[in-house]
Amino acid sequence: MSNSKNRDSLDFFFNPASVAIIGASKTPGKIGHELLRNLTQSGFGGKIFPVNPKAGKILGYICYKSIVDVPSPVDLGIVVVPADLVEGVTRDCVTKQVKGIIIITSGFSEVGNKELEERIVEIARGKLRIVGPNTFGIYYAGTKMNATFGPTKVLEGHTAFITQSGALGLALMDWTTEEKYGVSAIVSIGNKSDVDDADLIEYFSSDSLTRSILIYMEGLKGGRKFYEISKSATRKKPIVVIKAGRSKRGAQAASSHTGSIAGQDTVFSAAFEQAGIMRAEGMTQAFDWIQAINENPVPKGENLAIVTNGGGVGVLATDKCEALGLKLTDISTNLADDLKQIMPSFGSVKNPIDITANADDVLYAKVLDVLFRSEDVDSIIALFCQTANIDPVLFAQAIISLRNKENFKKPLTCAFIGGHLSQIAYSTMLEGQFAAYPTAERAVDSMYALTTRYRQLSRWKAEEV
C-alpha cells in the first residue's frame, strides 16, 4: 500500500530518533540559534546534535564540525547554512545516511536560482527526502518537536497546518496560541523541491493526532497526484485550502513571492470541489471552519435550529443561513409544545427561537436541553447577546456543563456578542472545546462548513452503493 509506505517514508520528519542542526549558532537572534533553542526547549525527546565548523558547545550541547562527525545515526537534518554551502551539506547528509533534511535556507528557486535547487534534489534523489528549501521548519505536537525558528509556544490540537508562505505561517503560529486554535502539526513547505502538499496530506490522513488538514497554497506542481491523494484523504478527514493568487495580479505576486505558477483559478476551484476539498476565502474563515469541524461530530441531517436571547442577531443569523443555503427547520408542534412549557410567553418558539433578553442561563440551558433531545433538530446555532443583567460567562458554563452531564453528540456552534465579559465567555467556550465565535455571522459560517461536510459524506456514501 502506497499510503502506509509513504507514511513510513516521511515519519522521520515528525518522529525522528535524532536531529542534527547543521549551521547551529551561538548567537541569539540568528536562525541557527533560535531553531536549536526551540528544539531543545520544546520537550522533544530525541537526540539533538548541533553542527558547526567552529564547534565547541551551544546551549550545553556538544557541537560537531560536520554531520559526518556525529557519533551516532541521524534521522533528520535541519540545514541553516548559507545557500552556497547547502549542496555540500546535502552530500554530507547522504554520506551520513540521514533520512530527511529540512532546508531552512532561502535563495533558491523562489529568487530564480532554480539550477542550484535542482542539483540538490538530484543529489538527494532516492537517498533522502527534502522539505524546502526556504522554510521556517516543522512543528509536530505528537513528539513535542518544535523544529522551527518561530514562536516557542504553540498550542497543541488537532489540525495539521501546511503553509507555503513563511511570514504568514509564522504569524499564524502566534495566532493559534492567541486564538486557541490548537495544531497537531505545522509544516512550512517552502519551495516544495521534493516533499509536496500531496505527500503531507497522505501522511496526515493517517496521523491519529490529526483530525483536519489546513493548507495555505500559492502554487502547485503535480496537480494529478495532488488530486488523487486529496480525493482519497478527504474521505477520511476534512481538508480546507486557502488558495492564493486567485486574481491576475495576485497570481503575478505569488509568482514573484514563491516562484509559483498560480494557474487558472477556475481549474483549481473545480479540482478542489471534485476532490472534496473545502476552499476558504481567507484565514479567518479557514480557521473558523476548522474550529467547527474539530470540535463537533458531523451533523446527521440538515435540520438546523437557531436559539438566541437577542431578536436582532437571530434575524441576522437567519439571513446569513439562507444566503449560505442552510435550512432552518420548521419547529414541529410537539417540539413547540415542549419549548412553550419552559419559555416566556413573549418569546418565539418559531425558528430562530427567541428566548428574549430576559432569559437567564438556567432557561437557556433548558431550551438547549430540549433541542439536544429533539429528533427534529440535527444541529444548533446558539447566540448570546450580552445584556445588562446577566454575565455571559454563566451562559458559557451552562452549555459546557450541559454537554458534560448529558454527553450530547449534536453539532453546536455559538457566538457571544458583547464586550469584555463576552470575550471571556467566548474564551471559556473555546477552552471547553466548543466552536465559539465573537459574531453571529462567523457561527453561521462555521455551521455551513459542518453542513458541507455532512453533504460530502452523504454523497460519497450514496456513490458507494
Minimum CB separation of residue 127 from its own copies in Å reads 30
Q: Determine if 256 is a binding residue for its own copies (CB under 8 A).
A: yes
Question: Peptide bond before 133: cis, by omega within 30 degrees of 0?
Answer: yes
Question: Residue 387 or residue 456: which is nearer to its own copies going by CB?
Answer: 387
x/- contact string, 155-194, with its own copies (CB under 8 A)?
Answer: --------xxxxxxxxxxxxxxxx----------------
CA atoms within 13 A on the CB side of 417: 20
> Residue 282 interacts with its own copies (CB under 8 A)?
yes
Residue 111 interacting with its own copies (CB under 8 A): yes
Compute the distance between CA of residue 207 and CA of residue 142 in angstroms, rounded to an integer. 9
Q: Which residues contact 185 (CB under 8 A, 6 or more apart)?
A: 14, 138, 139, 140, 141, 142, 160, 161, 204, 207, 209, 210
Size, binding site for its own copies by CB under 8 A = 82
344 binding its own copies? (CB under 8 A): no
Q: Which of 216, 395, 448, 454 binds its own copies (CB under 8 A)?
A: 216
Q: Closest Cα partner for 172 from 30, 78, 282, 42? A: 282
In the complex, the smallest distance separating the C-beta of residue 385 from its own copies, rounded to whole angstroms, is 4
Q: How far is CA 365 from CA 342, 360, 402, in A?
A: 11, 9, 7
Q: According to the binding rule CB under 8 A, does residue 218 interact with its own copies?
A: yes
Contact in structure between 355 and 307 (CB atoms under 8 Å): yes
Long-range contacts, 259-264 (Cβ 8 Å, 24+):
259/109, 259/110, 259/111, 259/112, 259/114, 259/191, 259/219, 260/164, 260/218, 260/219, 260/220, 261/219, 262/218, 262/219, 263/219, 263/220, 263/223
One symbol per residue from 16 to 55: x for binding its own copies (CB under 8 A), - otherwise; what is it?
-------------x----x---------------------
319 lines the binding site for its own copies (CB under 8 A)? yes
The three three-digit cell numbers of residue 97, written as one number? 545516511
Out of 99, 237, 320, 366, point to the residue binding its own copies (CB under 8 A): 320
Coil, helix or strand at residue 134:
coil
The reply to whether 357 sits near its own copies by the rule CB under 8 A is: yes
Cβ proximity to its own copies, 143 vs 318, nearer residue:
318
Shortest Cβ 111–its own copies spacing (Å): 6
* CA–CA separation, 24 and 262 (whole Å): 35
Instruction: State the minimum distance, in angstroms, from the CB of residue 447 to its own copies.
Output: 15
Question: Of 85 and 357, which CB lies nearer to its own copies in the complex structure?
Answer: 357
CB of 212 to its own copies, least distance (A): 20
Given candidates 4, 95, 274, 284, which one binds its own copies under the rule CB under 8 A? 284
- Closest distance between its own copies and the C-beta of residue 71, in Å? 31
Q: If binding is defined by CB under 8 A, does position 350 make contact with its own copies?
A: yes
Alpha-carbon span 257 to 251, nearest angstrom: 10
Touching its own copies, residues 407-446 (CB under 8 A): 417-423, 439-441
- 318 contributes a contact to its own copies by CB under 8 A: yes
Q: Is 266 in the site for its own copies (CB under 8 A)?
A: no
Q: Which residues ranging from 44 to 103 are in contact with its own copies (CB under 8 A)?
A: none
Whether the Cβ atoms of residue 363 and residue 342 lie closer than 8 Å to each other: yes
Q: Work out which of 162, 189, 213, 254 binds its own copies, going by CB under 8 A.
A: 254
Considering beta carbons, is residue 95 or 152 the nearer one to its own copies? Answer: 152
By three-state DSSP, how is residue 184 classified? strand
- Nearest one of 315, 329, 445 to 377, comparing CA atoms: 329
Interatomic CA distance for residues 78 and 82, integer angstroms: 13
